[in-house]
């Protein structure tokens, strides 16, 4: 019975090749950054609702108290209007006001059995796609039309995979027990979207959870990685220093130089001592300050992040950062404000879930290089969801499905062979079947 159903799943996935490519290209053409995924979310919601899934969306799916780095209402409104102009369902978009773009979709097969969740991220990058005529999205007319936004990390593919997986699950529902949930998460870039959804109940009662990403450490289409550990816990900060402007030549003693405070902070943040307990990282990515050549700067802003191999190590970096920021402000007699703009926990895949994935992918001949587990060495919002499920006696894993790509992730030339999405889809659905089969 297993082999028959697995072959059926593989066939259903192959039959969706044109559909999944069409969906991915549509989403690629209309990318939306974190908390503005109105069009993307409405398309996925409408499709899954039509398949019989129960949708939880809007404020019920996004706890506003934990939403960080949300654009101002004016920008949100502009993006809502743009989404409708670009084909989004107006009624659905209106229910996502204030950036409530995340949602989940449930289907119940029986009262007993596992409760499996998949997480698919939806947001694009703050990247301007190349205008090079040789770039395939330009040649085939699906490059980004939204200024300053590009799907340079493959989240357009993730949403397409999520929709296709939900379709196949609906087709084989009579062979399944328990329940399934498809979580479509906003704002993964910047590690902002998982926690508000967790706090809204996205992971409550989940017994098994899977996150999936195309590419990254899986170097080519013949490789799949079934699990990951050593996700770096991370916190993102926006720091503002407040000084006092004055004429730099006539009355310098009356000024308080916010730019110098920010510079001292930036330099010394990178001097934080490493920790013997494991890997740590820090980066000041941007510093903005100044009004004029002869004016002592009254305001300066830095955006920065800390990372740690464990949550303990990230907390160490946070504490040291705050100490240095305070001291840098004091040196220039300035005040300061720190706002948390995002963050994620550390995490590691469960051995039991890795085994499910390994069992599934042995049926997929495209994958000739099957890797059990890797050290991730970066932050991923999914780690917070996976850790929550594990802390509540569940299990989880993070799959990396290889692709043949022409440029790296977050590069403005990023693109890949879309046929690689079919084995990734097969891997996801076969794994789900092995967990939920009657």
Annotation-wise, does 155 bind a ligand?
yes
Annotation-wise, does 410 bind a ligand?
yes
Tell me if 98 sits within 8 A of 70, measured CB to CB.
Answer: yes
Annotation-wise, does 153 bind a ligand?
yes
Annotation-wise, does 74 bind a ligand?
no
Backbone angles phi, psi at 345, to 5 degrees: -85, 170
CB crowding 273-301: b at 16 or more within 10 Å, else e:
eebeeeebbbebeebebeeeeeebbbbbe
Annotation-wise, does 189 bind a ligand?
yes
**Burial of 373 per CB tally in 10 Å (0-12, 13-18, 19+):** middle
- For residue 29, the tally of other CB atoms under 10 A from its CB is 18
Question: Which residues belong to the annotated binding site for Mn(2+)?
Answer: 153, 155, 189, 213, 410
Question: Which residues belong to the annotated binding site?
Answer: 153, 155, 189, 213, 410
């Amino acid at each position: 019975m297993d082999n028959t159903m697995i072959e059926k799943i593989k066939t259903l996935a192959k039959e969706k090749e044109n559909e999944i490519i069409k969906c991915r290209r549509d989403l690629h053409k209309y990318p939306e950054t974190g908390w503005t995924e109105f069009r993307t979310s409405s398309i996925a919601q409408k499709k899954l609702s039509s398949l019989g899934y129960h949708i939880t969306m809007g404020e019920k799916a996004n706890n506003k108290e934990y939403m960080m780095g949300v654009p101002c209402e004016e920008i949100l409104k502009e993006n809502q209007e743009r989404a409708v102009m670009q084909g989004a369902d107006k009624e659905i978009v209106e229910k996502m006001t204030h950036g409530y773009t995340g949602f989940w979709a449930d289907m119940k097969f029986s009262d007993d059995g596992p409760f499996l969740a998949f997480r698919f991220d939806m947001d694009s990058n703050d990247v301007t796609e190349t205008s090079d005529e040789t770039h395939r999205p330009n040649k085939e007319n699906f490059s980004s039309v939204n200024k300053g936004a590009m799907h340079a990390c493959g989240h357009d593919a993730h949403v397409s995979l999520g929709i296709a997986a939900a379709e196949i699950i609906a087709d084989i529902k009579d062979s399944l027990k328990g329940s399934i949930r498809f979580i479509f998460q906003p704002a993964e870039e910047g590690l902002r979207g998982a926690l508000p959804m967790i706090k809204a109940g996205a992971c409550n009662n989940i017994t098994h959870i899977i996150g999936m990403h195309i590419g990254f450490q899986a170097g080519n289409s013949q490789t799949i990685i079934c699990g990951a550990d050593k996700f770096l816990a991370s916190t993102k900060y926006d720091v503002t220093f407040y000084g006092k402007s004055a004429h730099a030549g006539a009355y310098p003693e009356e000024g308080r130089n916010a730019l110098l405070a920010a510079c001292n902070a930036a330099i010394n943040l990178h001097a934080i001592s490493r920790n013997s307990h494991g890997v740590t990282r820090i980066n000041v990515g941007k510093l903005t300050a100044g009004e004029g050549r002869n004016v002592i700067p009254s305001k300066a802003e830095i955006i920065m992040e800390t990372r740690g191999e464990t949550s303990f190590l990230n907390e160490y970096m946070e504490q040291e950062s705050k100490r240095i920021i305070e001291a840098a402000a004091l040196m220039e007699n300035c005040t300061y404000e720190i706002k948390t703009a995002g963050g994620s926990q550390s995490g590691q895949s469960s051995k039991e879930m890795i085994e499910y994935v390994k069992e599934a992918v042995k049926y997929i001949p495209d994958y000739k290089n099957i890797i059990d587990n890797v050290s991730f060495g970066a932050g991923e919002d999914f780690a917070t969801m996976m850790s929550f499920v594990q802390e509540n006696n569940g299990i989880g894993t993070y799959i990396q499905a290889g692709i043949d790509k022409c440029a790296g992730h977050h590069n403005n030339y990023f693109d890949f062979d879309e046929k690689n999405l079919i084995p990734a889809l097969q891997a996801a659905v076969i794994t789900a079947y092995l967990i939920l089969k009657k």
